[in-house]
Copies of this chain bind each other. A is one copy, B any other.
Amino acid sequence: MLGWDQATYMPPGGAVARARQGALLSRLAHEKFTDPALGELLDELQPYADGLPRDCHDARLVRVARRDFEKAVKVPADFVARWSAHSSASYDAWTKARPADDFATMRPLLERSLEFSRQYAGFFAPYEHIADPLIDGPDEGMTTAKVQSLFAELRSALVPIVRAIVAQPLIDDSCLQGSFPEAPQMAFSLAVIKRVGYDLGRGRLDKTHHPFCTKFAAGDVRITTRVRENNIAEALFSSLHEAGHALYEQGVDVAFEGTPLNSGASAGVHESQSRLWENVVGRSRGFWEHFYPLLRDTFPDHFKVVPLEAFYRAINKVARSLIRTDADEVTYNLHIMMRFDLELALLEGRLAVKDLPEAWRARFEADFGIAPPDDRDGCLQDVHWYAGSVGGGFQGYTIGNIQAAQFHAAALSAHPEITAQMARGEFGTLHAWLREHLYRHGRKFTPDELVERATGGPMRIAPYVAYLRTKYSEIYRLPRVSQRLV
């Protein structure tokens, strides 16, 4: 609640006290949660849990509570409080430093964030890689090595697609630029996310520097977005992205309210839902067959001369671009891989914070063939590192992209009518399938178990690569690629 307020409505004068308040509550919560008496209760419960069917709620609740407890007791309460206070102060500084392109101000704060992150990892020693504890928190079961191997496999499949696309003429996406006042943009975003299934009686949409989704209770799952009055895509797709997270959280079994099971299985599975709704659904042709008339009604002067097909191509333009959150589906993962590698370098000590802007520029140029003009749209662009934590914050996005396609393929194979329904503005079948196979389970199953249960096999990149090849071969008319692989 303190964090949501700080990002949405807190006046600037509140920042200093807010850091103190957040640190105090973090420390108190941590002290409560790491009370040895809780460990004893968990020990007492273990024989009961062991006697239960493996997949029943209580058995899984004990498992997850124990996992959380055992992680938490490794970290001193005082450390948690200091990290929280630092994170809050750093976030506040970043909201001013980014627009001012001021890396110098953020440098000492980021150095402290890195130090906090390394110390945190240290509490979990021994480990194979210093990033492992930071990754296993948000993405249970993943390790640095597994992510590296997954990313290498994906990269080798993506690079030829990117090359084939950039050899084609650039799509003209100027129809997304214009003058779009904030109020109707927000109203349109609200109409869209409501239609796909976000329950506004149990949520709300606000504006922040960096969009996010947060859950206070089953009945209170909020999202935020960011509006650019000169670009229609920003608010729309960040709203859809966060609505994807929110559909997940709103769909968790209410029986889990107030327990550790009452959220998503992992960062990756969570991201699969934001990316599924933002991209697989929200950038599909069918989706816009339904919603384009409403967008035209909202901004008639602008869109009356833009055919649906031109709009569809514009929102799926693939290009080497500066900003991760604006990136297309194909190059997006290159942004993630780059951040992941830079994080590893920082954590391993191979890269100093002072050299980050330069390392960012060099890597960006190598991967994208363009150089960021400044740090604002370079290494300052994402909140993650500046909200206090280096490591573990990015791999989930690409895992999510992979899983989004895998889950969507499984839903389609069970309900081929989903695609046609979407073009009629009906999202209930897809939503119900996702609720049944993912959302309602909350944290009951591990990410690997969830993928296995929902799709009948382990996580694999093939559905994602096939999805990208099919979609972009059609958009970019890439005959050889599509003949060979689709």
Assess the B199–A13 pair: CB atoms within 8 A. yes
- Kindly report which residue of chain B lies nearest to residue A25, judged by CB atoms: B25
From residue A466, how far is it (CB to closest CB) to chain B in Å? Answer: 39
Partner of A12, one of B1, B201, B217: B201
Assuming A11-B200, A13-B220, what are 10 further A-B pairs, CB within 8 angstroms?
A1-B5, A5-B5, A11-B222, A13-B217, A14-B217, A16-B217, A17-B217, A17-B258, A18-B216, A28-B28
- Please name the residue on chain B nearest to A10 by beta carbon: B220
- By beta carbon, the residue of chain B nearest A202 is B13
Which residue of B2, B5, B10, B201 is within 8 Å of A13 (Cβ)? B201
- Judge whether B258 and A14 touch: CB under 8 Å: no
Determine the distance from Cα of A206 to Cα of B201 in the docked complex, in whole angstroms: 20
Cβ 8 A contact of A14, one of B18, B202, B206 = B202
Q: How far is the CB of A88 from chain B (nearest CB, A)?
A: 13
Beyond A17-B257, A217-B16, A257-B17, is A11–B201 a contact (Cβ under 8 Å)? yes
Pairwise interchain contact A204-B11, C-beta atoms closer than 8 A: yes
A32 nearest CB neighbor, chain B only: B28
A-B contact pairs, 26 of them (CB 8 A): A1-B1, A1-B5, A5-B5, A8-B9, A9-B9, A10-B220, A11-B201, A11-B202, A11-B203, A12-B201, A12-B202, A13-B199, A13-B201, A13-B202, A13-B217, A14-B202, A14-B217, A14-B220, A16-B217, A17-B218, A17-B219, A17-B257, A17-B258, A18-B216, A20-B258, A28-B28
Asked whether any CB of chain B lies closer than 8 Å to the CB of A21, the reply is: yes
Name the B residues within 8 Å of A204 (CB-CB): 9, 11
A323 lies within 8 A of chain B by Cβ:
no
Q: Which residues of B contact A199 (CB under 8 A)?
A: 13
Residues of A at the B interface (CB closer than 8 Å) are: 1-2, 5, 8-18, 20-21, 28, 199-204, 206, 216-220, 222, 257-258
Q: What's the least CB distance linking A373 to chain B, in Å? A: 32
Give the Cβ gap from A256 to chain B, nearest Cβ, in Å. 13
A9 touches B201 (CB 8 A): no
CB neighbours (8 Å) of A9 from chain B are 8-9, 204, 206
A200 surroundings in chain B (CB, below 8 A)? 11
Count identical subunits in the complex: 2
Q: Which residue of B lies closest to A218 (CB)?
A: B17
Q: How far is the CA of A258 from the CA of B17 in the complex (A)?
A: 9
Cα–Cα distance between A144 and B201 once the two chains are bound (Å): 44
A99 to B199, CA, bound (A): 24
Known: A5-B5, A13-B199. A18 touches B220 (CB 8 A): yes
The CA of A218 and the CA of B199, in the complex, are separated in Å by: 36
- Cβ contacts under 8 Å, A28 to chain B: 28
By a CB distance below 8 angstroms, the chain B residues around A14 are: 202, 216-217, 219-220
In Å, the complex CA distance between A200 and B10 comes to: 11
Closest to A17 in B: B217
> Which residues of B have CB within 8 Å of A8?
9
**Contact partners of A11 in chain B: CB under 8 A:** 200-204, 219-220, 222
Q: Are B17 and A216 in contact (CB under 8 A)?
A: yes
Bound-state CA distance A206–B219 (Å) is 23
Instruction: Kindly provide the distance from the CB of A22 to the nearest chain B CB, expressed in whole angstroms.
Output: 11
How far in angstroms is the closest Cβ of chain B from A312?
Answer: 33
Question: A222 to chain B: closest CB distance in Å?
Answer: 8
Q: Which of B15, B203, B220 is close to A17, meaning CB atoms less than 8 Å apart?
A: B220
Minimum Cβ distance to chain B for residue A349 (Å): 38
* Chain B hits for A218, CB < 8 A: 13, 17
Q: State in angstroms the CA–CA spacing of A225 and B9 once bound together.
A: 16
Note all chain B residues with C-beta closer than 8 A to A257.
17
Give 9 nearest A-B pairs by CB, closest first.
A17-B217, A13-B219, A14-B220, A13-B202, A13-B201, A14-B219, A11-B204, A12-B201, A11-B203
CA distance A216 to B206 in the complex (A): 21
Which residues of chain B come closer than 8 Å to A12, judged between CB atoms? 201-202, 219
* Bound-state Cα–Cα, A13 to B220, Å: 6
